[in-house]
Amino acid sequence: MPEFDAKKVAEAHQHLHSHLPSESALRVKTLETLLEQKGLVNPATIDAWVEAYTEEIGPRRGAQVVARAWVDPAFKARLLEDAPAAIDEFGFLGKATAHLKVVENTDSVHNLVVCTLCSCYPFSILGIAPAWYKAAAYRSRAVRDPRGVLAEFGVEIGDEVEVRTWDSTAELRYLVLPQRPPATEDLDEEGLAALVTRNSMIGTDRDLGGSA
């Protein structure tokens, strides 16, 4: 008779559950299925909206804002002073960005954004929030151990760099302005925007690739 190892069973159980969709995702899928069966929604319409928020609305909008700040010092100053007004110059202002603060990465400061209570997020310029941003582990550890969290994203922050964690709420949300990569002087705004990642505007990415 095989020997029962409670520890191995528990590890296997945890591993299997780690690959299952979250409870909220399952609820959304169930609701979507019921609405489709009743003819109340069109699956193609849902897919189109998901694609729009993922590919068009964000994070490309945020990348355009960052690129403009990199090439236009006056716009950058406006963005840091009054982010909603500056973003409205692009026509990107929405409910999730009406109360937005932009924080700038520098050689001595790195910023990390989290929402410890739920998942407040400037979706109108960053698109749909990634699953890890809404996970309890990220929401708690980003405050307690930000350097450890960043390391898990492949971002090593030296002791000489201060890490600042910003807690988003329904009333105030944050966007990180990453540093412009070196050797990008020949790129126009469109080329610069292509270098900006969603994670860099959350703070889980730091060194963006430029020209060699």
57: its two tokens: 């609305």
The answer to whether 22 is a known catalytic residue is no
The answer to whether 140 is a known catalytic residue is no
Catalytic entry in 24, 118, 140, 211: 118
The answer to whether 108 is a known catalytic residue is no
DSSP string, the chain: -PPP-HHHHHHHHHHHHHTSPPHHHHHHHHHHHHHHHTTSS-HHHHHHHHHIIIIIITTHHHHHHHHHHHH-HHHHHHHHH-HHHHHHTTT---TTTTTEEEEE--SSEEEEEE-SSS----HHHH-SPPHHHHSHHHHHHHHH-HHHHHHHTT----TTSEEEEEE--SS-EEEEEPPPPSS-TT--HHHHHTT--HHHHHTS--------
Neighbours of 51 (CB within 10 A): 11
Q: Which residue has the tokens 């739920």?
A: 118
Catalytic entry in 120, 124, 168, 200: 120
Residues recognised as catalytic: 115, 118-120
